[in-house]
Structures are given as C-alpha cells and as structure tokens.
Structure 1
Amino acid sequence: MSNERASIKINKRTVDAALPTAARYVLWDVDLKGFGLRVEPSGVKSFIARYRPGAGGRTAPKRFVSLGRYGALTPDDARRLAREILGAAANGQDPADAIVKERAAASVTELANAFVAEHVKKKRKSKTIESYEHVINAYLVPAFGTRKANALPRADLSRLHGKLSDKPAIANRLVAVASSMFSWGSQHGYVPEGFNPAARIEKYKEIQRERFLSTDELERMGEALREAETIGLPWEPDQSKAKAKHAPKAENRRVKISGEVVAAIRLLLLTGARLREILHLRWTYVDLERGLLLLPESKTGRKTIILNAPALLIIEGLNRTSPFVIPGDDPEKPRSDLKRPWAAVSARAGLTGVRLHDLRHTHASFGAGSGMGLPIIGKLLGHSQAATTARYAHLDADPLRRASNKIGGALSAALEGKLKAEVLPIKKIRP
C-alpha cells in the first residue's frame, strides 16, 4: 500500500492543501476510521475506504475500496459512501467483493450474444432469428452495449423506445426483444431474478397495414405476368449514366422473367401461402394425386396447403430440374427472394404500394368477400389463432348486406305506409 501519514480531518480545505510528492501517500481521517484520501505523484486525489472483512480482527486481511476521485466526488459525499461501506463490513459483509462481482457482471452485449447463441438460434426459425439480430445489433447494442445488464434502468430503455416513435412497429419490436432477452437472462443468472427493464413500457398503437388487390388490379397483374414470360417486360435506361446513350432501341429493351418465377408469383396469390413456403417448397412435399402441399415446417408448425385447380395446373406444368419447385441459380438451393421480378411486374401493372405478402391478403379477402366464413379462411391460410384471421372480418360483406337490405326494406315500407302488423286470430279456448 501507499505511504501512510498522520490522521487529519478530511474536508475541502485539507484535501486542497494535500500536495503531491514523489511517491503515493494516504491521509486517514481522524473521525471515521478507515476513511482516507490517496494522493498520487501526478496530483490525482481519490477517496478510499479500508476494512477487515468477516469477523474482522488483526488476522483478517485488509481490503481497500476506491470511492472515487476528488472533483467528481466531494469530501462529504465520499464520507457518506465510506460510512456505508464500513458499516456493511462491521455487519460481516465484504463490500469490496460485492463491487468486484458487480464490475464483472455481464454487459448488455454479453447478455445479447449469449441470448442469441443459446436461445434464439436453437429455438426460433430463421426469419425470427434475423429479426432478433437486427433489433439487437441496430438498436440495443449501439445504445447500451457497454452498460451492465443488471443495472440498465427502465427509464433509459423507455427513452430509446420514445426516440423511435416515428417507427412504432420497430419501437414495439425493440421492447419485445429486450423483454425476451432480459427474461431469459433472469432465468440463466445474467441478471437478478425478475429483473426486466422492458417490463411495463407502454407500446405504441400500430396501424395494421391492409392492401388488397381489386379485380381491375388483378387483371393488370395477369397481363404483366403473361407479358413477362412471353415477350418480356420493357425497361428504360438510366439517363443519369453515361452508357444510357448506347442502350438498345426501345423495341429491343425487354427482359423476360423465367416461368418458375412467374409460377411462384401466381402460386402466392392462388394459395395464399407465405413467400418462404413457396420458395422453399420441395417436390417431396407435393402430393399431386390428392392436390396437397404437405409442409413439414412453417411459421405455425406443420401445415397442409390445399391446391385449387389453377394452382395444381401450374405445379403440374413445371419441370423437375431441382429438388425445389422454384429453384435458385444453384439448382441445389432454393431461390432466395422475388424482389426484382416482382418490382418489375408490379411497376408494369401499375400497382402502387403492393408487397408480395399482399397477395396472401388478397387471397383471404376474396374468400371473406364470398361469405366463406373466417374459420374456413383461417384453416386455408394456416392461422393458429382465430384472432389472426379476424382482420378480414370487415370484408365478410354478405351477412351485413343481407341485414342492411332487410332493415332498409322495412324502413322503406314504413315510409310508404305499407308496413302493416300481421294480425293473428286468437283461438277460442273451449271450456
């Protein structure tokens, strides 16, 4: 330890008067035993506390705790901290050991890495893994990565949630992922049991996006698909680039889209399947005889998709050149996405703000509009919860139209004086 000097009353005057020397030294307080001021040769002054842990006594080793630097900490504040630590030591505790454990506690980054490796990647599907990793790496780690996971205040996480108010879906996803992460950390000793700073953070109301293609839009989409697989879709050169003037003539500026890609787009609409369910579809999952797609895994687990006649005809017309119904550039791998071809088709068809997933919504909307009933539509789409299908309830127009027509007819008849109560004769009761 440093050279020790005579005890003094540690206050602002004596601390300011303590001058550095060639070697570090310590001044001990005359009133509070174990409270000291350490002076470095560099002139840096810091407050310390010294005690013997456990039952104390001269046989116990001395422990030292750094309370903080002078300037950031006043002598009075340091005295209060020293009194708490020395009091805890007198009661048999070891404050220095607790501080060491606190400093060794996992950071938010360490908790996040363990959470993803030991939980998310082992128990979640690939799309969910991507979503979790994006939220963690784009928001949680940049904001709190070096902070101790067991000391992250709810207020700090709530402020980050507030900064994303213009992106309510992302803000709410942030809270959900953080809640799951800290809940897992609590179960596995990374943070105290029950500690979860994401708890009770009120989420934003999200406006659910609904986009269904009209009959006219479907006609334009069909024309664009037929054009894409036959003569190709026209394209325009980028006039901002120097090579634009060397572009082919307009009649030669067309690009074809493969039959498999066009088939995939049509299947998304005709079956209401999710994108990955079609792109990752293997021929071994296809039962042409019974007209079924038997998926061993989907977002909601095992799933059977019923192929209607047009969808069955499309699949029967495809060549089996790969284990996958919609092969990628490498026949042994599925196609990764349909972004570029769909952008070209939707632009040609004049479809504004239409995502590929909206084809699934359109499939469901046609069923709801035909009065098929939400339970049936839910089964066709593979929904595991009725609440998921309920978003299409307002499209189930037939029962409402019948009710409205009945009410309107009665009111109209009343206005025209034609509404008469039907009088039924009362039968005489024989004695």
Structure 2
Amino acid sequence: MKTRLTDRVIQRHQHQLTQDRSSITDSVIKGFFVEIRKRSATFNLRSSIDGKMRVIKLGRFPEISTERARALCLEHKQRISQGATVDDLTKPVRSMTLDQFYRDHFLPWYQTYRRNSTNIVQLYRSTYHIRYGHRHLHTICQDDLRKLTKEMQDLGYAPGSVNRTVVILRGMLRRADDWGYCKIHSSLQKPPNLLPDHPRHERFLSREEAHRLQAVLQRRGATPVNLAILFLLYTGARRSEVLNADWAHVDFARQEWRIPISKNGRPRTVILSDRAVDILEQARAYQQRHFGKQARSVSTVFANPQTLQPYHNIWETWKRVRAEADLTDVRLHDLRHSYASTLINAGVSIYEVQKLLGHTNITTTQRYAHLASERLHEAVKLVDAGYGLE
C-alpha cells in the first residue's frame, strides 16, 4: 500500500490490522516505509548502498513521530549520496542528555569565556532543564522549538524573550555538535522561526501608578518577593542584581549597596535612599522572624524561605501583583525606566542618572531620558508666556 505517511495513518492501520503485520510505503519520499504491527510500528529506509539493496531501520513509532522519522530518512539519503556505508548509518549515535552536556561541558565553557553566568544558569533551570534536561541531544528538534515558542507565548512572555530563549537553546545544541558530543537533529540545520518583535513603546510609571503599586505590595505583606519588587522601584537596579543581592555588600552606615559584577562585567555601587534602606530593614526583620537561628547564616537579602537561596524567577508573583494594581502592561524592567524618568523629571542631570543606573556609556542613559516628558511640558509653557498677549 502506498500513501503519505502520518501518525494518524499509522494509528488507523494499527486499529484495522487483521494479520500479523502490514507494510505501508510513503508516497512522498522514495524508499521510506513503515512496518505495522498491532502494538508497534517500525520506520525503515530501503535504498541501494554499494550496489546492493539495503533496509535501514530508522526507529519505532510512537517513540519517534512520523515527521522525525521522515527527517531522519532524508538525512540518511543525503549521507548515502555522499558515500556513507551501512556501518556509517547503523552505528550507535554518540550523544548524551542535555543535562549532562550543560553540566559537564557547556556551563564550564560559559563561565570561562563569558562575563557573567547568572542569567544562563537561571534560564537553564527555569526553562531548559524542566522540558529537555532528560532528553538526548540528538532527539531535540525544530518541532520542540516550535512547542517552546507556543508555551512561552501562552505564559505571556514578550516576543523578544521567547526568541532569545529559542536561539540560545539551538545555539547550545549546535555547539554540542561542533564539539563532537552529538550529531544534532537534521531539522536544526536551518534557523528557527522567530516571532515578529516590533520595538516596544517604553513604559514608565506615573506618580499615581507608583502609589497604586506600592499600595498593593503593602497590602500583600512584607514577603521577600514583594520587598524585592519594591527595592527594584526604589533603586532602579536590574532584576538579577536585586535577586542576588548579598548582605555582605550592603553598607547601612553609608547607605550604599555594592554589586560585585554588573551587566557590563564591572562592579558598581548603588546609592540607597532612606526608603530603600527601610526596605532592607524590613527584609532583615523578615528573616529574623521566619528563619530563626538560620537567619545569621543566610547571605541573600531577598532569600526564598523554602531554600534560603536566591529566587531564580519571580514572574508568577509579579503577574499577580501588576494585575491587582491594574498595571498589566508593565514589566519588571519598566521599574528601572520609572526610576530613571522620575529622577530626570525632578531635575537630576543625565550624567548623574548615568552614574546611578551604572551605565558606562551616556548613550545608553539617553534612551531613558526621552521617557520623561513632564518637565518638557512645563518648559513649552514658557513659549506661551513669552509670545502671549497680556
């Protein structure tokens, strides 16, 4: 029988099978066929190799899907045209799980050649480990990237974040291939389909919105995550910097917080306002009340009460907080925008804001300057006053 092979076709024929086995040949790819039994099915490729007709087993259904078997079939046909032997096609694939590759090879390399590994560690734990950590490298394919894109979209991640997550995973797999730890799935040879990522209008909080956010956080209580969000608002620091803040780097007497390694790879010092210091005092009081004797050994300022370690992700809490405050379009990073625009509206120079945000280049700071228009509105009123009739 000849037809276009699909998962549904195989399942239907399994249910209708009246004999021990049946064979269906694919109508699209020459030599691609499946042997069907009641409880299993085996994908095969029939092809001439070294002048003899050979049958190469591709895998069993449903352990691999028809589309994966089809892709593997095309890869084998390409290798055969380049002179591959039967032994080349049938010898075991050298591979390992994604967790093994990440732990033993990728992370050590990343920590050696990249400025800061905090972000990749958080991304791996929260996204890749959960979904693919147990999978062998060569089994992860383009279809997995499409599913990851859909899942992250459904969770509300911005297109830029989704694209970055997909590109990093594909890059990790291609690096494993380059280093000889696996032969990646053939579908990953072409770039993934990325989401359209149009430049977003920068968002910052008005005075009334900032009050509303703080009222919600106060009502929810002084928990580590709620206090971390407040601290973001009052310091303009980055999310990763706040979540990894260490008590050893806080100088209460000088009202300063030292960040050993910032995004640009250099240390920087954050000047703390009285309100920011008060937030830290609340965090310390929380740990003394809830951690007991362990409080003295906890180094993380906004430690997770369950693990006493830094939080890796506070997205779910932030999603609920911003919904209660009716700020559903506000991202955590927008609190940094708000900090910058509030300073500029208050008359602080762009150079002082640059120092407070920890930017090495004034051009980076200028992208925040255009967010704040209140002073400009006041400034143009001077034109009315100058031209106006008495």
| TM-score normalised over the length of structure 2 | 0.55
In 2: Cα distance, 1:168 partner to 1:343 partner: 17
Q: Residue 253 of structure 2: which of 289, 309, 323 is its match?
A: 289
Using the TM superposition, give the Cα deviation of residue 293 of structure 1 relative to its aligned residue in structure 2, in angstroms: 0.8
Deviations 1:76-120 (A, max 9, x none): xxxxx99x97x98xxxx77345435xx54456x757852564114
Matched, 1:216 2:192: no
Match of 1:99 among 62, 65, 89: 89
- The one of the two structures with greater contact order (alpha-carbon pairs below 8 A, sep at least 6) is 2
Report which of the two structures shows the higher radius of gyration computed on alpha carbons: 1
- Deviation per CA, 1:132-151, whole angstroms, max 9, x where unpaired? 4666568889999655x8xx
Letter in 1 for 2:167: A
Residue 276 of structure 2 is aligned to residue 311 of structure 1: yes
- Determine whether 1:366 maps to 2:330: no
Aligned with 2:163 (options 168, 172, 180)? 172
1:314 offset after TM fit, Å? 4.3
Amino acid at match of 1:217: E
| Aligned partners of 1:116 and 1:133 also within 8 Å | no
Q: Which of residues 197, 217, 229 in structure 1 aligns to 2:189?
A: 197
> 1-side partners of 2:233 and 2:349: how far apart?
19
Cα pair distance change 1:367/1:106, threshold 3 Å: farther
CA distances 1:389-410 after superposition (whole Å, capped 9, x unpaired): 4542422447865885687789
Q: In structure 1, what is the Cα distance between the partners aligned to 2:323 and 2:147?
A: 37
- What does 1:203-242 correspond to in 2, within 5 Å? 204-208=196-200, 210-224=202-216, 228=219
Q: Tell me the TM-score normalised to structure 1 length.
A: 0.50
The answer to whether the 8 A contact 1:48-1:68 is kept is no
Cα distance change of structure 1 residues 218 and 295 upon mapping to structure 2, 3 Å threshold: same
Secondary structure of the residue aligned to 1:395 is coil
> Does structure 1 conserve the Cα–Cα contact (< 8 Å) formed by 2:202 and 2:371?
no
The structure-2 alpha-carbon separation of the partners of 1:396 and 1:142, relative to structure 1 and needing over 3 Å to count, comes to: same
Q: Distance in 2 between matches of 1:218 and 1:278?
A: 19
Aligned pairs, number: 305
- Whole-Å Cα distance in 2 between the matches of residues 98 and 287 of structure 1? 63
Residue 257 of structure 2 aligns to a residue whose secondary structure is strand
Matched to 1:66, the amino acid is R
Task: Assess if the C-alpha contact under 8 Å between 1:287 and 1:293 holds in 2.
Answer: yes
Q: Aligned pair in 2 of structure 1 residues 399, 138: CA closer, same or farther (>3 Å)?
A: same
Secondary structure at the aligned position of 1:293 is classed as strand
Matched residue SS, 1:329 = coil
Partner of 1:131: 123
What's the counterpart of residue 236 of structure 2?
272
Opposite residue 204 of structure 1, the aligned amino acid is: P
Contact 1:132 1:177 (8 Å CA) reproduced? no
Give the residue type in structure 2 aligned to 1:360. Answer: R
Give the superposition deviation at 1:68: 5.9
**Shift in Å, 1:288:** 2.2
Cα distance between partner residues in 2 of 1:174 and 1:210: 22
- Residues in 2 aligned to 1:279 and 1:385: alpha-carbon distance in whole angstroms: 25
| 3-state SS of paired residue (2:339) | helix
The residue type equivalent to 1:211 in the other structure is R
Q: Distance in 2 between matches of 1:348 and 1:48?
A: 66
1:60 matched residue in structure 2:
none
Paired amino acid for 1:125: S
Which residue number corresponds to residue 54 of structure 2? 66
Percent identical residues: 27
Per-residue CA deviation, residues 230-271 of structure 1 (Å, 9 max, x unaligned), is: xxx6xxxxxxxxxxxxxxxxxxxxxxx247666544322111
8 Å CA contact 1:268, 1:360 repeated in 2: yes
Aligned counterparts of 1:137 and 1:401: Cα–Cα separation in 2:
50
Which structure 2 segments of 5+ residues have no match?
A: 1-43, 58-75, 289-294
Counterpart-to-counterpart distance in 2, 1:308 and 1:262: 18
Return closer, same or farther for 1:145/1:408 CA change in 2, 3 Å cut-off. Answer: farther
Q: Secondary structure of 2:258's match?
A: strand
**Change in 2 beyond 3 A, CA 1:46/1:379:** same
Which residue is equivalent to 1:420?
none
Matches of 1:145 and 1:176, distance apart in 2: 15
Correspondence list, 1:17-28, <5 A: none
**Structure (1/2) with the larger helix percentage:** 2
1:119 maps onto 2:110 in alignment: no
CA contact (8 A) 1:224 1:348 kept: yes
Greater mean deviation of Cα atoms: 258-267 or 160-169: 160-169
